Amino acid sequence: MSGMNDDSLNCENDICALPQVSSNVQPELELMSEDPEELLALFEANGWGDGLPLVAPTEERVEAMLAVGGELATAPPDEIIATLPPRFGQATRRLLAVNAVLAGCPNGVLPVITSAVRALTHPQINLRGVIATTHPVVPLLIVHGTAVDDLGFNSGQGTFGPGCRANASVGRAIRLILLHIAGSATGTGDASTQGQPSKYSYCIAENTEQTPWESYPERCGVSADSAITVACGENPHNFHDMETDRPELILEKAASVMMTLGSNNGPVSSAEFFVVFGPEHAATIAAAGWSCEDIQNFIFETARARASVFRRHFQVTQYADWIKQLHDDDLMPITDDPQNIRILVAGGPGKHSCVIPSWGMTKSVTLPVMA
């Protein structure tokens, strides 16, 4: 979004000028008041924002957002962190800070946001496709490690829901960055047919304390005190089992949620799933001696239907060669590799877990949190 380029901030009377949104650089608009209604009206009139009230990005607030996070305090504020499609807007540290302020983020979270934006640029994320598709796909940000407690993220009860400033505002900041820099406004960049609520904010944290296996970043080969994962998919699909102590019965329910013909995973065999276990389900499964690899293999073998069922519903497909060779009566898996089933623990008390289907043509990325 060239209207949000790094040279577009012009602060006067401690209030930042806000640029017009266009594919070409436009004159700046100076906001001379911090009044939230005036700010919201300005954004609405120019097609900016997410429709919710915003925090005025004053020079003081933006500098405070930039001034924390180790080396971030001395890094050039106009350094380009990423170029984000489809508009190919340049995301500088200052612009990330502006959007973090607009979203209501607490100071200290900018390294998490910066690392997430870096992740969005990885080719396997396929950000241009994620934004441009009619599917309601959304980048989910998962925070891991010491940043969870240090910065106040909620990894426990209600992690997907409201009530935690860090989860809500950081997820919202990523959305505002996509709107203002990447150009993902509905109808011009974002072609999603119906959208989904997580397009406002989609950020959770891994419950490492109650994870009975290695942490998710460790299983991805990322060794860092704090890390982030970006995975592009749908809203979480809940499943529950209140009764059993048998892992296979819990996992059969997860597999039944995954084995749906309505998601993009149906015609795209390489698509990922995130299976996010609540701590109680995770404890039950681990107590029976099951590893994450055991879980992946069991679900891979269970989430299947006859190949003829898939072929009846899908003519345009992206299947692995070995899947194409299956006979009609063979059981076909919903994904072509057990490693596409990603295992995570998050949430609090209660025997509920969820599945997050992918858009299909995207893979998750896990990176250390770096300033």
State pLDDT tens for residues 184-203.
999 889 999 999 999 999 99
Element (H, E) at 226: strand 226-233
Read off the pLDDT of residues 21-31 as tens digits, 9 standing for 90 and up.
434 444 456 77
Distance separating alpha carbons of residues 302 and 338, to the nearest angstrom: 11
Short-list 298, 227, 237, CA closest to 265: 237
Short-list 235, 230, 303, CA closest to 269: 303
Buried residues in 250-269 as b, exposed as e (16+ CB within 10 A): bbbbbbebbbeeebbbbbbb
Mean pLDDT on 36-52: 93
Mean pLDDT on 235-244: 96
**Cβ contact 357:235 at 8 Å:** no
CA distances from 146 to 150, 154, 208, 306 (A): 6, 12, 10, 45
Query: Tell me, what's the pLDDT at 28?
Result: 54
Read off the pLDDT of residues 58-69 as tens digits, 9 standing for 90 and up.
999 999 999 875
DSSP-derived pairing of the beta strands 226-233 and 203-205: unpaired
Distance separating alpha carbons of residues 14 and 34, to the nearest angstrom: 9
Tabulate helix, strand, coil % of the chain (nearest 5).
35, 20, 45
- Show the tokens assigned to 320: 């692995």
Beta bridge partners of 61: none
**Does residue 100 have a pLDDT over 80?**
yes
**Cβ contact 343:213 at 8 Å:** yes
Distance separating alpha carbons of residues 213 and 344, to the nearest angstrom: 9
Confidence of residue 371 (pLDDT cuts 50, 70, 90): confident
Query: Tell me, what's the pLDDT at 239?
Result: 97
Query: Tell me, what's the pLDDT at 281?
Result: 98
Distance separating alpha carbons of residues 142 and 116, to the nearest angstrom: 9
| Residue 85 backbone dihedrals phi, psi, to 5 degrees | -75, 165
| R_g (Cα) of the chain, nearest Å | 21
CA distances from 242 to 21, 254, 350 (A): 50, 14, 8
Mean pLDDT on 318-334: 97
Read off the pLDDT of residues 134-180 as tens digits, 9 standing for 90 and up.
999 999 999 999 999 999 999 999 999 999 999 999 999 999 999 99
DSSP-derived pairing of the beta strands 341-345 and 273-277: parallel
78 burial (CB, 10 Å; 0-12 / 13-18 / 19+) is middle
> Could you state, in order of their start, the residue ranges of all structural domains in the chain?
235-368
Element (H, E) at 217: helix 216-219
DSSP classification of residue 85: T
Instruction: Assign 58 to helix, strand or coil.
Output: coil
Query: Tell me, what's the pLDDT at 73?
Result: 57
DSSP-derived pairing of the beta strands 138-145 and 226-233: antiparallel
- To 10 degrees, the CA torsion angle through 259, 261, 262, 268? 90
Confidence of residue 343 (pLDDT cuts 50, 70, 90): very high
**Cβ contact 138:232 at 8 Å:** yes
- Show the tokens assigned to 172: 């919202």
Element (H, E) at 310: helix 307-313
